[in-house]
Amino acid sequence: MSYPSLTLLSGRDRSVVNRHPWVFSGAIKSHPKAGLGEIIAVKTNHDQLLGYGFHNPNSRIICRLFEFTSEEREFDREYWIGKVRTAWKLRQRFLPPDTNCFRLLHAEGDFLPGVIADVYGDVLVLQILTKGGELILDHLLEGFQEIGFQNIYLKNKEAAERFEQVNLENGWLRGEGEAERVVREHGLEFRVDFGSGQKTGFFLDQRENRLLLQNVSRDARVLNAFSYTGGFSLYALAGGAAVVDSVDVSSDAVALADENVRRNVPDAKHNAIVADCFDFLRREGNLYDIVVLDPPAFARTPKAVQRASRGYKDLNLHGIKQLRPGGLLFTFSCSGVVDRDLFRKIVFGAAADAGRDVRILHQLSQPFDHPINIYHPEGEYLKGLVLEVGE
């Protein structure tokens, strides 16, 4: 089968030759005669085939490649089901024991742009963020059912409809019932509300970082700011923390955080606090042995980076001030446009303003089930530092 071709400008094909999966509109010599979401071939100015991707003529990213090859080929149902099988095999190889919630498909990290699939027990929660993903949805559903998922729930973003014209209604694609499950992560139980919760219901990307917190929390007084449904809080208490304060602006999230704690550690000293985290952190300091800062993304576009940097600096400055000498700061950014080096410089500025001795103990990222395509550094969205804060 022959697919419509996109031709790159001479000298503008280097990133695609180096397997970066995005083709930007400014690199195009000739546009394909193809509709939104259709598969197109990407070629050099000398008509050399580089690969295939999903077309979006309305976006700055005009093509998202899913296959790099110099040979013409066809993409049938078996190809897409094969992508699901490969992703499943990787997760089964590395999934930790007593854990039944994880990410099965991670977009470019699994060579499937615009497709996110998270597993919560017997349910797969799906996000289809590109029109190309919508056009192969039936094949993906076949693949999910082949590996054993009969309950599939769609939890899409409004941006997918607005920018990619994805025409899918949220709700059950297969199965029915309440849009929630109780799942296990490293043996701890969490109730996940994937129907109305943030993203697909739970922040699976912090799984191993939560385990690190558990290992250093014995007898500690811990603050979990932007606590959401209490992932870090529960791990700290499971590690023997003396008391944990969970702070979030959402009363529903705070209530679920307390429920998750009580489900696992009924007698824990856990304070579920509804408050603005910036305001909470500005109160009198030197109160905690460990502070966790895991805010939502402050910047989603390059234009927002400067403002986001100020927010991260203010947050970390006051987080440091909350720590007793010798305390630990677990600080994160999930803003993809704030890279690892910039985030470290921001935290450096906060430490300098605080005027305290600070050492980096760990540099953290996302776990194996959120794989990073080495040619696509934008996929490394989660950055974290564990700092020891002295006098």
Q: Using CA of residue 105, residue 81, residue 182, residue 186, what is the dihedral sign?
A: negative
- Distance in angstroms (rounded) separating the CA atoms of residues 56 and 40: 10
Neighbours of 326 (CB within 10 A): 11
Residue closest to 119 by CA, chosen among 198, 170, 174, 181? 181
- Residues 326 and 322: their CA atoms lie apart, in Å, by 12
Residue 98: burial class (beta carbons within 10 Å; 0-12, 13-18, 19+): exposed
Q: Look at strands 101-106 and 115-120 and give their pairing.
A: antiparallel
Q: In the beta sheet, which residues pair with residue 243?
A: 221
Residue type, 187: G
Burial category of 92 from C-beta neighbours within 10 Å (exposed 0-12, middle 13-18, buried 19 and up): exposed
Q: Give catalytic residue positions.
A: 334
And the tokens for 267? 């007698």
The residue whose two tokens read 């700290």 is: 236
Measuring CA to CA, how many Å separate 34 from each of 31, 45, 314?
8, 19, 47
Give the C-alpha separation, 112 to 21, whole Å. Answer: 10
Instruction: Give, rounded to a whole angstrom, the gap between the first and last alpha carbons of the chain.
Output: 68
Look up residue 194 and give its amino acid: F
